[in-house]
Chain A
């Protein structure tokens, strides 16, 4: 009965739409990329990406006390009032650079030492820049990527008040909106960056890949293909392999597909499935015809349906118990196109056979099916503590162990 009703509704909608198109001459506006593939059900039609809230949560309202961690770990508020806090990298001189995505249009520098009032006050080092998201620090230089270009600010820690004009390394990035923001990592003097699919589901062409280039912008090459939208990756200190999170397509169903945790073992030669195959075993209902999931690299682990898997960082500190050495932390930002919300910091251990075991590490981000906070990225501090950024609450938390 319900099904029939849905068909009747669809038929009505289709006819109205067709009739409308038939009368009009100008081309219809494109549907937003995120809406491609959205079913016409009433519930789905009410779901859309929700940008970060424009006001950071007040320090005394943060969910810090509600977080749950394994025994022996504790979490405290490291900094509050950091609007839209996304990716974090630390400079040689201790400054913690924090990027933003849709709301902040800024990169902040946060002092490692708190002021006399016990607070860390952010200084704005890059301002009025859309998608000021991709940052990496290497040998005195801040690498910075928007959706349009990658630049470098040399010796930035000596001129935080006026970083000056950066050197442009690559201004040929495609821009756009869907999945066009950047995550950066430098490994063996190469800068790794993704170009995400320009849509929910489509033939991505030269998009949907992880690339790398030399630190002067030369020598761009493909590292992995079929990567829909990775917003976090890191190199296994033991093997040197690149591990990355990938956000699965939207609107397939409430429970499918899972986000993927993937590992690159043959740089430049592997295809991870998008748009043909999701989570290694679900052919796409449109692009999967004539394709076989066996032709693509399977994920090392599932990270949950529509999880919004973002930052990924191998733990390289000494403070946490030995079993966390060689483990990676993964920020599950939480779904927008799934009825039941969830978000956490997960931890994953490579099993040495190409797979990984994943379990929740820090929970308490969701209350009454609403987000109190949403984790984004990590920074391992010199003392071995772990910082977690939260763009929803505009805060940074510090996780420590013992004492």
Chain B
């Protein structure tokens, strides 16, 4: 009994340590370019092309203040290429992005997405209004309830074809979630359409609020 209690206490301490170490590690982890990078497209070219073609809206570091424009900083190259593909194929529609994507060849999709995958996450600017803690608590509960963490991870950082949503712009998340629900925003797979189909709009908005302000817990 005594041994067991000691073990549990130690376990809890170890867990606290693990929680502390986890997010810190995640933040300093260097991002690897996609394994599928094409040898034909030197990365430097796409850094320059990103600066001239994408940065005006998305920001030079992959984050901007432009309404409805998602942060690309910290996004995964696999996710990025699936979205460029959907724009190019005319499945996902956005006037500006469709126009850009239509001009891209396969190598360009690889080059841009590989470059985007190298952009480190940029934290959101301090919100204009104080954070509504009750709304955050509700958002956290909804994220648990609706299994968001199953794919996006406990740190909401995503991976592979699953986007990072922690710190994403709230207006963009709100528009995306509503789009998945109403069917105007197709995904690369059916995962999001299925996941949000039963969630009321107001709860989707709370989720957008929560994820956009989410920072991984720093431990106690």
Contacts and interface: CB of A to CB of B under 8 A. Distances in A.
Nearest to B144: A20
Contacts of A29: 145-147, 195-196, 198-199
Contact of A54 (B39, B85, B149, B151): B85
B196 A8 contact: no
Interface of B: 7-8, 10-12, 14-15, 18, 35-36, 38-40, 78, 81-82, 85, 106-107, 109-110, 138, 140-142, 144-147, 149-151, 153-154, 159-162, 188-191, 194-196, 198-200, 203
B161 to A, nearest CB: 6
B36 A53 contact: yes
A118 interface: no
- The A interface is mostly helix, strand or loop, or mixed, namely loop
A32 B191 contact: yes
A177 B194 contact: yes
B109 A54 contact: yes
Contacts of B78: 53
Interface in A8-48: 8-9, 12, 16-17, 19-21, 23-24, 26-32, 35, 38, 45-46, 48
Contacts of A45: 149-150, 153-154
Given A20-B145, A29-B145, A45-B153, A55 B109 contact: yes
A27 B11 contact: no
Given A29-B199, A50-B160, A58-B106, A8 B15 contact: yes
Contacts of B38: 58, 61
- Return the 5 tightest CB-CB contacts between A and B, nearest first: A54-B85, A20-B141, A4-B11, A29-B146, A20-B144
B145 A24 contact: yes
Contacts of B109: 54-55
B194 A26 contact: no
Determine the interface band of chain A, counting residues with CB < 8 A from chain B. 35 or more
A55 B110 contact: yes
A12 B82 CA distance: 35
B68 to A, nearest CB: 24
Given A61-B38, A177-B190, A26 B200 contact: yes
Interface of A: 1, 4-5, 7-9, 12, 16-17, 19-21, 23-24, 26-32, 35, 38, 45-46, 48, 50-51, 53-58, 61, 102-103, 177, 368, 370
Contact of B150 (A16, A19, A35, A61): A35
Nearest to B159: A46
B124 to A, nearest CB: 24
A51 B161 contact: yes
Contacts of B82: 51, 54
Contacts of A368: 35
A35 B195 CA distance: 12
Given A48-B151, A51-B189, A177-B190, A27 B81 contact: no
